[in-house]
Amino acid sequence: NGFKCHCMSESHQRQLLLASENPQQFMDYFSEEFRNDFLELLRRRFGTKRVHNNIVYNEYISHREHIHMNATQWETLTDFTKWLGREGLCKVDETPKGWYIQYIDRDPETIRRQQEQERKKKQDLDDEEKTAKFIEQQVRRGLEGKELEKPVYTELNRESEEEKVTFNLNKGASTSIAASSKTSSVLGPNALKMVEGTVKRKESAQTSGQSKEKKKKSALDEIMELEEEKKRTSRRDYWLQPEIIVKIVTKKLGEKYHKKKAVVKEVIDKYTAVVKMIDSGDKLKLDQTHLETVIPAPGKKVMVLNGGYRGNEGILESINEKRFSATIIIDSGPLKGRRVEDIQYEDISKLA
């Protein structure tokens, strides 16, 4: 034991001498190790969630082999937090409760998924604008039609003082003819022509009213169909659901978990999942950007994760490999039995 203590003492003295000769080199090394370990813990444990810096630091120093901050270039945790923000490694903000940090994931696969989500959001906004313009055009057409239907008032004149003026408030052409026949002796030989003209005008008014009603009805049907299509294609930027099977796509957890399948046991804040590995039974907490859906063989059960049919279970009928889409039969809820075609791979996943 004395020999070991003697050797360790000499080794420690040599390290102190080396450190005294070039202290900056050792400080840079420890600073880099501290930064890498801290960021890896932040990424693996909290993902891209906003979290208090003290929570991350307390979990970091709980490991026995951690590098102490006194050996780095940063004197305090606040200085280190500000440095992370200046270097663009994290989003940082100060609150009355202290400093909060948020990891910025620069993984190429994550960036690609974010760009795809932004593209879909823009497409949904374009669809909403088209719907709003279409409804505005239909309303404008309806208002123009009402302006054309305004009644025209004319002055009531009698050709002679002996002519009698009668008013018939009953509806229908038959009553109008009967009333006209009573006054035919007074109105003279033109009475029959007047009655025929009245009947023709009423018939033309009825047919024009029916055609306008039909036109309005068809426009309303078109709006309803457009709203139904909009509902069917509505999307969200989160898709995780409990009891679905997913595949881990991130390489940062090592080959043990890369491309392996797991079951989602819990969804936290819409974007984070607690998954259980199918082969090993290990439990991991991962962001949805590190996961992807799993498409089973035809005949297996799936769950719709996005769009108007979100949350419905179904049976996979067929797969279109060229379009990266599938056809399913809804198997739950009020839409049970409905056949949905051309649904994207990323919008469905196998049920556990």
Tokens matching residue 150: 């305004």
What distance in Å separates the CA atoms of residue 3 and residue 10, rounded to the nearest whole number? Answer: 11
CA separation, residue 82 to residues 37, 38, 53, 60, 89 (Å):
17, 14, 11, 18, 10
What is the mean predicted confidence (pLDDT) over 288-317? 91
Say if residue 323's pLDDT is above 90.
no
pLDDT tens-digit readout, 175-230: 444 444 444 444 444 545 554 555 555 555 555 555 554 455 566 666 666 666 65
Select the more confidently predicted residue: 181 or 321. 321
CATH fold group of domain 12-103? Arc Repressor Mutant, subunit A (1.10.10)
pLDDT tens-digit readout, 17-38: 555 555 567 678 888 989 999 9
At residue 54, the pLDDT reads 92
**Model pTM score:** 0.40
What is the mean predicted confidence (pLDDT) over 143-157? 63
CA angle 323, 329, 331 (to 5 degrees): 140
At residue 322, the pLDDT reads 86
Q: pLDDT averaged over the chain?
A: 77
At residue 241, the pLDDT reads 93
Question: Are 318 and 327 a contacting pair, CB within 8 Å?
Answer: yes
Say if residue 343's pLDDT is above 70.
yes
Architecture of the 237-294 domain: Roll (2.30)
Say if residue 328's pLDDT is above 60.
yes
* Topology match between the domains 12-103 and 296-351: no
Domain residue spans of the chain? 12-103, 237-294, 296-351
pLDDT band at 131 (very low <50, low <70, confident <90, very high): confident
What is the mean predicted confidence (pLDDT) over 8-22? 52
pLDDT tens-digit readout, 233-286: 577 888 999 999 999 998 888 888 999 999 999 999 889 999 999 998 999 999
Give percent of the chain above pLDDT 70. Answer: 65
Secondary structure of residue 261 in the 3-state scheme: strand
Q: Detail the DSSP E strand segments found in the chain.
A: 50-52, 90-95, 98-103, 245-248, 261-268, 272-277, 283-287, 291-293, 301-304, 313-320, 325-330, 339-344, 348-350
What distance in Å separates the CA atoms of residue 59 and residue 14, rounded to the nearest whole number? Answer: 32
Task: Characterize 71-91 residue by residue with b for buried, 16 or more Cβ atoms within 10 angstroms of its Cβ, and e for exposed.
Answer: ebbbeebeebbebbbeeebbe
Say if residue 98's pLDDT is above 50.
yes
Stretch (H or E) spanning 299: none
Say if residue 174's pLDDT is above 80.
no
What is the mean predicted confidence (pLDDT) over 285-295? 92
At residue 262, the pLDDT reads 95
Say if residue 116's pLDDT is above 90.
no
pLDDT band at 52 (very low <50, low <70, confident <90, very high): very high
What is the phi/psi pair of residue 136, to 5°?
A: -60, -40
Say if residue 14's pLDDT is above 70.
no
At residue 217, the pLDDT reads 55
Question: Are 310 and 296 a contacting pair, CB within 8 Å?
Answer: no
CATH fold group of domain 296-351? SH3 type barrels. (2.30.30)
User: Which of 107-116, 237-246, 333-342 is the least confident region?
Assistant: 107-116
> Who's near 187: CB < 8 A, 6+ residues apart?
163, 180, 194
